[in-house]
Amino acid sequence: MASEGGLDVQVRWVEGLQFVGRAETSGAAIVLDGAPEHGGFGSGPRPMETLLLALAGCTAMDVISILQKKRQKVTGFRVYAHGDRAEEHPRRYTRIKLEFVVRGWDVEEEAVARSIELSQTKYCSVTASVNAEVTYTYRIEQEQVPQE
């Protein structure tokens, strides 16, 4: 099912609500599973959790790459994602809030803010693909400059 210029994945059913997804380009695999109360085994993330992981991962890769190009001294970096879902089916995300936590020394607030803005408005294809309001906050945890 290869498509010109696109990306391809496959999902193979194992049992219950457990599936193994494989990305054709990278060959990487992930177990997807439903909630035990719905027939799953809880052995992997649920599809809607995977969507949040994809969004957090996409923007994280953008932001850390930009911060590195800006020569920021980042020693730790996390992105938290929280999604609010509609009450009615298909229970899509209506709002997603991202929180970026950057740790390092002499990390410039302007560099962090601009890196996140660029990711969210220009580079992150997952953000551009979701039909939800995506907002974000960030904080910087400054460390002491290491003694040499």
Tell me: do 62 and 131 sit in the same domain: yes
**Residues 67, 73, 76, 80, Cα dihedral to 10°:** -30
DSSP 14-54: EETTEEEEEETTT--EEEE---GGGT----S--HHHHHHHH
Tell me: do 82 and 132 sit in the same domain: yes
| Range list of H helices, the chain | 47-69, 109-118, 125-129
* Residue-range definition of the domain harbouring residue 67: 47-142
Sequential pLDDT tens for the chain (148 residues): 555 778 899 999 999 999 999 999 999 999 999 999 998 999 999 999 999 999 999 999 999 999 999 999 999 999 999 999 999 999 999 999 999 999 999 999 999 999 999 999 999 999 999 999 999 999 999 998 777 6
Tell me: do 92 and 123 sit in the same domain: yes
The per-residue pLDDT for 21 is 97
Helix (H, G, I), strand (E, B) or coil at 67: helix
Closest CA relative to residue 55, chosen from 27, 29, 81: 81
Q: Could you give the CA distance from residue 77 to residue 92 in angstroms, rounded to a whole number?
A: 28
Tell me: do 80 and 35 sit in the same domain: no
Tell me: do 53 and 30 sit in the same domain: no
**Any domain includes 148:** no
Considering the entire predicted model, what is its pTM? 0.91
Q: Could you give the CA distance from residue 118 to residue 133 in angstroms, rounded to a whole number?
A: 17
The per-residue pLDDT for 146 is 72
Tell me: do 25 and 52 sit in the same domain: no
